[in-house]
């Protein structure tokens, strides 16, 4: 037991003295640590803001792409239906009504029926914002496709002389350019 008493007495006699210099160093270390942490927080905050801005931009672009895809979803179908419109227009232009013909009444009714169908078809196209391209005088390479040039004294050089195939737009895009002949 005497040994145990000696050890406890030694423990009791030890006094911890902290030097004042170490307190100053700790404060300097603490302030540099605080500054480092503040810089790190600022870096993470900057990264977060940039990532968030990038995400918002991506979200906006995705919404725009989706709206465009929805707006032009029927473009392929509309392009295919234009051949039907061309055939119907061609059929209408081929019907000639001769007053002396015995089938005159039948031909009148046939032309009247085809005209009604043509009007309905054009109304449906207009409803879906598919419009015929105007081919008035001046040639526009964004809307017209010149397939040939002809001599014409009545037209200025570069003016449209004849429309060979009608062109159409869907909203603000050219669905099919108008095929035209222009004056030399």
100 is in which domain, residue-wise? Answer: 72-183
Mean pLDDT of 94-121: 82
CA 10 to CA 175: how far, in whole Å? 100
Mean pLDDT of 55-60: 96
Task: Please state the domain count of the chain.
Answer: 1
Residue 158 lies in a domain: yes
Per 3-state DSSP, the chain is made up of helix, strand and coil in percentages (nearest 5) of 60, 15, 25
pLDDT at 177 over 90: yes
The CATH number linked to 100 is 2.30.22.10
Residue 57 lies in a domain: no
Residue 13 lies in a domain: no
Mean pLDDT of 49-58: 96
pLDDT band at 136 (very low <50, low <70, confident <90, very high): confident
DSSP of 51-90? HHHHHHHHHHHHHHHHHHHHHTTTHHHHHHHHHHHHHHHH
Residue 167 lies in a domain: yes
Residue 159 lies in a domain: yes
Residue 145 lies in a domain: yes
> pLDDT averaged over the chain?
83
Residue 52 lies in a domain: no
Question: What pLDDT, on a 0 to 100 scale, did the predictor assign at position 98?
Answer: 66
Residue 81 lies in a domain: yes
């Amino acid at each position: 037991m005497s040994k145990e008493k000696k050890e406890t007495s030694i423990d009791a006699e030890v006094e911890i003295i902290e030097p004042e210099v170490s307190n100053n160093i700790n404060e300097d270390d603490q302030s540099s640590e605080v500054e480092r942490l503040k810089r790190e927080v600022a870096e993470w905050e900057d990264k977060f803001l940039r990532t968030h801005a990038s995400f918002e931009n991506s979200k906006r672009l995705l919404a725009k792409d989706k709206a465009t895809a929805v707006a032009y979803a029927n473009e392929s179908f509309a392009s295919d239906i234009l051949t039907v419109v061309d055939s119907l227009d061609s059929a209408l232009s081929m019907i000639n009504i001769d007053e002396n013909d015995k089938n005159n009444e039948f031909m009148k009714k046939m032309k009247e029926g085809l005209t009604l169908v043509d009007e309905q078809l054009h109304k449906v196209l207009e409803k879906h914002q598919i419009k015929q391209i105007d081919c008035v005088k001046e040639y526009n390479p964004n809307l017209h496709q010149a397939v040939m040039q002809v001599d014409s004294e009545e037209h200025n050089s570069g003016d449209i002389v004849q429309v060979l195939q009608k062109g159409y737009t869907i909203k603000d895009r050219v669905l099919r350019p108008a095929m035209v002949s222009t004056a030399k």
